């Protein structure tokens, strides 16, 4: 079984500042993948960043980066230079290597970026 916990239901940040969203997970698999998805008010699910568990290097995508702590089962998302368009619900998700692509999601963190 796989579970994902996001302990921050809501967060806010001022434009141009940096914010970190927390995620912890549990899995019995050795091979797995972690994801952060963004869901703006349009409702569309947008993949922000992906991390393979076997890679030690933290993934980065432009202003988005992760802090992957495998031993602690932690996978936080850092957004630098926050923009108004970053306002959205953010979901952390995990997929095991043997689960036929099934994703398990956390409950989400609503991020609001203020001007």
Partner 1 sequence: NAGVTQTPKFRVLKTGQSMTLLCAQDMNHEYMYWYRQDPGMGLRLIHYSVGEGTTAKGEVPDGYNVSRLKKQNFLLGLESAAPSQTSVYFCASSTPGREPAYEQYFGPGTRLTVT
Given the rule CB under 8 A, which residues bind partner 1?
4, 9, 33, 42-45, 47, 50, 52, 91, 93, 95, 100-108
Closest distance to partner 1 from the beta carbon of 82 (Å): 23
The residue behind tokens 């940096």 is 18
Which residue number, 13 or 103, has a Cβ lying nearer to partner 1? 103
Closest distance to partner 1 from the beta carbon of 89 (Å): 9
Evaluate whether 66 touches 51 at the Cβ level (below 8 Å). Answer: yes
Contacting residues for 51 by C-beta, under 8 A, at least 6 apart: 33, 34, 35, 58, 59, 66, 68, 75
Which residue number, 15 or 102, has a Cβ lying nearer to partner 1? 102
């Amino acid at each position: 079984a796989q579970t994902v916990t996001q302990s921050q239901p809501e967060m806010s940040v001022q434009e141009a500042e940096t914010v970190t969203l927390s995620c912890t997970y549990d899995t019995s698999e050795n091979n797995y993948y972690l994801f952060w998805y963004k869901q703006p008010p349009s409702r569309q699910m947008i993949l922000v960043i992906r991390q393979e568990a076997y890679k030690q290097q933290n993934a980065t995508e432009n202003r988005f980066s992760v802090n992957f702590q495998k031993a602690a089962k932690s996978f936080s998302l850092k957004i630098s230079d926050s923009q108004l368009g970053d306002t959205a619900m953010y979901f952390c998700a995990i997929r095991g290597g043997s689960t036929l692509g099934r994703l398990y999601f956390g409950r989400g963190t609503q991020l609001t970026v203020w001007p």
